[in-house]
Structure 1
Amino acid sequence: MRRRQFILLAGVTGIVPPEVRSSTVQESGRFDEIAKLISAKMAEHHIPGVAFGVLKNGQITARGFGVTNVDDPQPVTPETVFPIASISKTVAATALMTRVRQGRVDLKSPVRRYLPEFRVQDEIVSREVMLWHLLTHTPGWEGQLTAEDRGTDTLNFFTAGLRDLPQLASPGSVWSYNNAGFGVAGRVIEVVTGKSIHEALRELVFAPLGMSRAFSRTGEAMTYRFAVGHRQQQGQPAVIRPFDLSTNVTAGGVATTLADLLRYAAFHLGDGIGAQGKLVLSRALLEQMRTAQLRKNCTDDEMGIGWQLRRINGVLTAAHGGTLGGHCLHLQLVPDRNLAFAILTNHTDGWRLIQDVERATLRSYEGLALKPNQPIGHRGVNEAMTAHATPLTKQPSLEAYVGRYRRPPVGTVEVREQDGKLVVTNQTGGETSNTTIVFYGPDVAYAIAGSYTGMPMEFVRNQSGTVGWIRINGRIAKKADI
């Protein structure tokens, strides 16, 4: 059974409350064409449910597709709750920027200004690492760490548990996707507000922006119609059980509806005025969040404050994706074109639909398209190179890349030469994958066979010009002999 429902919400700062529904609207032809693509990709990749919406010039058009749960099928609508996973990082950054506005937080101050007991293994890093490093994924330590559920003490215990964490790179030198850093940022939010992260996000972001169905506790989110995660099993989508929102709330623990997520996007494209007509952030601070702080080594992508930045045909996009418990999600802003859109899916292969829908939306609404060999970086959800990507006619000497790379405490990566190509063996989290890669530019490669087919990888050089790191799915591993 598949029912579809859509709504139109008008106004960038005066968005209608969530109880308002409309059953019919005059939708643009381009939205309908993308809707057809979504239905086709859902069938191709066996994705049970999708929510998709576009904000263009203050008008929001949104639609649900498919079902929330193959075992208990309810129609997905724009009011269905999805976990937004790592899109939560932009929420955390927004919350911190409200404290910047009040003069209570300085992003270029050391973390120890707010957390005097903070430490990692390297004492100099412990003293000098800044909030800015946390929000730009550049603290230099391993980031794929889990926060044990300790209730309202979770982030406090998590931050204290980083004291033996070694450096993979010096702060600010190498971009590497980092959940742990955002956990520390969440603890800073708790300290400067005197509230739990759940209370702080509600008071600083959800309530001021009118996001009445935004949650950071599983027990709250599950009381509404919720899209559960699925994986492919024996050729069919199967529910993933159990499910919990991430306990590292600021790295990936928020859940909300498509309607509320588009309200959030409207705020970020607007003038900083919230749903109650009060100033939440200045326009200058919103623009600062979308201003490049650094370039992601080896790629054309850049990093803002919380937002992942990419220029497509010279036009800035600010985006963030997420993956959690059988869900793949994506939110994107195109500020200069007054455009935003969100794609929420409830299947581990949802990223395949997301990348096709993202590219179709940019092309249809704005005439924008990635260049075939444009070096792209990780943005929180899997993404493959375009179908038109081509390897270098003459591949580089492979010797410089061969070796063992380490990601303490989560795993290792082995790179070896085989039949004139590089084979990458990635051992993390108790799982092993083998991938054959080819280079499409200097130090940038993509997989042509194996577990990451189509996905880019990068080799980052150190100051002496030798290969120091491999970056897979946005995370670095350090070469063992440097």
Structure 2
Amino acid sequence: MTQQQLSEFVAATAKELDVPGVAVGILMDGQEYYAAHGVTSLANPLPVDEKTLFHLGSTTKIFTATALMRLVAEGRVELDAPVRRYVPELVLAEERNAAEITVLNLLNHTAGLEWNLIDTEDERESLADFVAKMANLGIVGAPGERASYSQAGFNLAGRIIEKVTGLSYERAMAELLLDPVGLSDTFFDLDEVLVRKFALGYNRAEDGTLKTAQPWRAYPAGARGNLPGGGIVSSAGDLLRWARFQLGGGEGVLPGELLHRMREQTVELRASSLGDGFGISWFLGSVAGVRTLGQAGSANGQFAELLIVPERDFAVVALSNAGPEGYPFNQAVSRWALERYLGLVEEDPEPVGYDDARAREVAGRYEIDVMNLDIATDGSRLTLEVGIKPEIRAASEADMPADYPPAATGFLPGDGDEYIITEGGLKGQRGFFTRDEHGAVIGVDLGGRLFGRAAG
């Protein structure tokens, strides 16, 4: 592959999807390759490059997990220890979860915690404030029973870091991780962002135009209490430096065997486009039989993708600043890079033909705290629609991302409980339906999160 081919693909894909600004980085055979296209802002345009800052959203989680692993290496935290050893004031809606969840349960999303708390817009809210509200958080299962992606669980992990170190989460992250790894363009503080070149986020309005996403930090990740699960800001250049560290021996931070333990599967994921299982924070997957590590993220009109192929010493980073098109842009870059640089072709499974009985069985509304997921059938096709709850959107002063409109969805071969979305901004996303002991459909998994079936 040549630099020109990479640049041409990135530019053409960004133009096709109408994404204002993108930055891509490739690590191959120890060499770094970058391609950028577009501008940081439509109103005040500056060219995007590998040092342009983007809000990474949930890509933050692998940073939080790695910092905690350093505390494990130093003997200050035990993965199998109950969380209450470090945060004794923890109260949850169910005492069993509060008493039994371990540090590892937080890091592989098996704590049985709902996705997040929704009343966290106040920038002044601390992690201590967040944890004090966790009794209001929904419970989706017993500790260790199943994986369900939880922002709240990682925020609680950040509170462990604070309690053990005696430092604020941000200061502890700098001392434990960011400074030793040399990530000079990676921050949590907006004051640091404002004096550098950064990308504004954009969301697509109903008329198809792009509207500036405000506030710059995504709701609810704007609050300090949400930083550990989704508050980091970085660049394509720093993310490739981070990938080098993850492919290395943990130099200056933690022993290599502990770093590489994070890649080992701790729990299986079923029918997920995000991977086959969780390691310690990492989504573990495979393409053409070759193992991959991944952690994506989304913020307010911004999307991030980090994918590493350890056995090939390869990594790809994609950053984009428009929703919802940033997600398919990042996915297209990752697939193209795997094929063109490594010869690895990722193909989506093919759904079976429409089954009306199955479709009517699963049709209905499913929900988590901030989003509704509606599955419907017109007698000839099954569709899936996901969006922010109207009452949450109405109560917020923030400009929230647009909803994903109904998209064709098909059942996958097998028992009929697995599905794939076949069109739209979520094309390629896979999931499955959960049943109770009587066989009734009570939930649906999408993006690693369990949406419970709404009453009525």
Question: Normalising by the residue count of structure 2, what TM-score does the alignment of the two structures yield?
Answer: 0.87
**Does 1:334 pair with 2:309?**
yes
Alpha-carbon separation, structure 2, partners of 1:411 and 1:51: 29
Unaligned runs of 5+ in 1: 1-27, 274-278, 374-389
Gap change, CA 1:80 and 1:150, over 3 Å in 2: closer
The 3 A distance-change label for structure 1 pair 228 and 125 is same
Q: Residue 342 of structure 2 aligns to which amino acid in structure 1?
A: E
For 2:142 and 2:378, locate their aligned partners in 1 and report how far apart those are by CA, in whole Å: 32
Q: Does residue 271 in structure 1 map to residue 249 in structure 2?
A: yes
Equivalent residue letter for 2:228: T
Aligned pair partner of 1:178 in 144, 150, 154: 150
After superposing the two structures, state which structure 1 stretch, 133-142 or 306-315, moved more. 133-142
**Considering only aligned residues, what root-mean-square deviation do their CA atoms show, in Å?**
2.5
SS at match of 2:136: coil
- Indicate the residue corresponding to 1:5 in structure 2: none
In 1, the alpha carbon distance for the partners of 2:199 and 2:424 equals 30
Residue number among 99, 119, 134 corresponding to 1:127 in the alignment? 99
Offset of residue 424 of structure 1: 4.5
SS in structure 2 opposite 1:60? strand
Does the CA contact (< 8 Å) of 2:40 and 2:47 recur in 1? yes
Tell me what 1:371 maps to. 347
Look up the equivalent residue of 1:391 and give its one-letter code. Answer: P
1:447 correspondence with 2:424? no
Q: For residues 78-119 of structure 1, what are the alpha-carbon distances to aligned partners after superposition, in whole Å with 9 as ceiling and x for unaligned?
A: 111111111100000011000010111112211111111112
2:250 is paired with a residue of what secondary structure? coil
Out of 317, 332, 335, which is 1:356 matched to?
332
More moved, 227-236 vs 197-206: 227-236
Contact 2:353 2:410 in 1 (8 A): no
Gaps of at least 5 residues in structure 2 are 394-402
Equivalent AA in structure 2 for residue 333 of structure 1? I
Change (3 A) 1:312 1:32: same
User: Aligned with 1:214: secondary structure?
Assistant: coil
Q: SS of 2:4's equivalent?
A: helix
Q: What corresponds to 2:77 in structure 1?
A: 105
Residue 69 in structure 1 maps to residue 70 in structure 2: no
- 1:144-163 to structure 2, matched below 5 A, reads 144-146=116-118, 147-149=120-122, 151=124, 154-163=126-135
Residue in structure 2 matched with residue 59 of structure 1 by the alignment: 31
Do the aligned partners of residues 66 and 406 (structure 1) sit closer, same or farther apart at CA in structure 2, a change above 3 Å counting?
Answer: closer
Cα pair 1:142 1:165 within 8 Å, conserved: yes
8 Å CA contact retained: 1:168, 1:407: no
User: What's the secondary structure of 1:243's corresponding residue?
Assistant: coil
CA distance in 2, matches of 1:332, 1:453: 19
Partners of 1:156 and 1:150 lie apart in 2 by 13
* Deviation of 1:306 (Å): 1.3
The whole-number CA distance in structure 1 between the counterparts of 2:382 and 2:447 is 17
Q: Which has the higher helix share?
A: 2
Q: Which residue of 1 aligns with 2:287?
A: 312
AA aligned to 1:360 is: W
Any conservation in 1 of the 2:366–2:444 contact (CA below 8 Å)?
no
User: 1:396 Cα deviation (Å)?
Assistant: 8.1
Q: Indicate how the Cα distance of structure 1 residues 34 and 145 shifts in structure 2: closer, same or farther if over 3 A, else same.
A: farther
Cα displacement (A) at 1:271? 1.1
Question: For the Cα contact (< 8 Å) 2:22–2:320, is it kept in 1?
Answer: yes
Deviation of the 1:342 alpha carbon:
0.6
Identity percentage of aligned residues: 32
What does residue range 87-102 of structure 1 map to in structure 2 within 5 Å? 87-102=59-74
Whole-Å Cα distance in 2 between the matches of residues 217 and 326 of structure 1?
Answer: 19
Report if the CA contact (8 A) 2:217-2:299 is conserved. no
Between the aligned partners of 1:52 and 1:424, the Cα distance in structure 2 is: 30
Q: For 2:355 and 2:364, how far apart are their aligned partners in 1?
A: 21
Q: How far apart are the structure 2 equivalents of 1:451 and 1:72?
A: 27
Contact 2:97-2:112 at 8 Å conserved across structures: no
> C-alpha offsets along residues 323-351 of structure 1, whole Å, 9 cap, x if unaligned?
11111111111000011121111111111
Partner of 2:162: 190
What is the aligned counterpart of 2:352 among 392, 396, 408?
Answer: 392
Q: 2:55 & 2:425 partners in 1: Cα distance?
A: 25
Equivalent runs, 1:180-329 vs 2, <5 Å: 180-233=152-205, 234-244=207-217, 246=221, 247=223, 248-273=226-251, 279-299=252-272, 301-329=276-304
| CA shift in 2, pair 1:372/1:241, >3 Å | closer
TM-score, normalisation: structure 1:
0.83
Determine the C-alpha separation between the residues in 1 that align with 2:372 and 2:182.
Answer: 44
1:429 to 389, 392, 398: 389
Q: Tell me: CA distance 1:402–1:256, structure 2 relative to 1, closer, same or farther (3 Å).
A: closer
User: 1:313 corresponds to which letter in structure 2?
Assistant: A
Greater CA drift, 307-316 or 455-464: 455-464
For residues 242 and 167 of structure 1, what CA distance do their matches in structure 2 show? 29
Contact 1:404 1:412 in 2 (8 A): no
Partner residue, 2:397? none
Which stretch of structure 1 is more off in the superposition, 224-233 or 85-94?
A: 224-233
> For 1:452 and 1:263, how far apart are their aligned partners in 2?
29
- Give the residue type in structure 2 aligned to 1:447: I
Determine the C-alpha separation between the residues in 2 that align with 1:238 and 1:223. Answer: 23
CA distance 1:96–1:396, shift in 2 (3 Å)? farther
Question: Could you tell me whether the CA contact under 8 Å between 2:348 and 2:428 is conserved in 1?
Answer: no
Cα deviation 1:457-476 (Å, max 9, x = unaligned): 32134566654421133321
Counterparts of 2:341 and 2:317 in 1: how far apart (Å)?
Answer: 14
- Alpha-carbon distance, 1:265 to partner: 0.8
CA contact (8 A) 2:383 2:407 kept: yes
- In structure 2, which of residues 16, 23, 27 is the aligned counterpart of residue 44 of structure 1? 16
- Aligned partner of 1:166 in structure 2 is 138
The DSSP-based 3-state class of the residue aligned with 2:117 is: coil
Deviation at 1:174, TM superposition (A): 2.7
Q: Is the 8 A contact 2:306 2:315 kept in 1?
A: yes
CA contact (8 A) 1:319 1:332 kept: yes
Aligned counterparts of 2:451 and 2:213: Cα–Cα separation in 1: 29
Cα contact 1:137–1:175 (8 A) shared by 2: yes
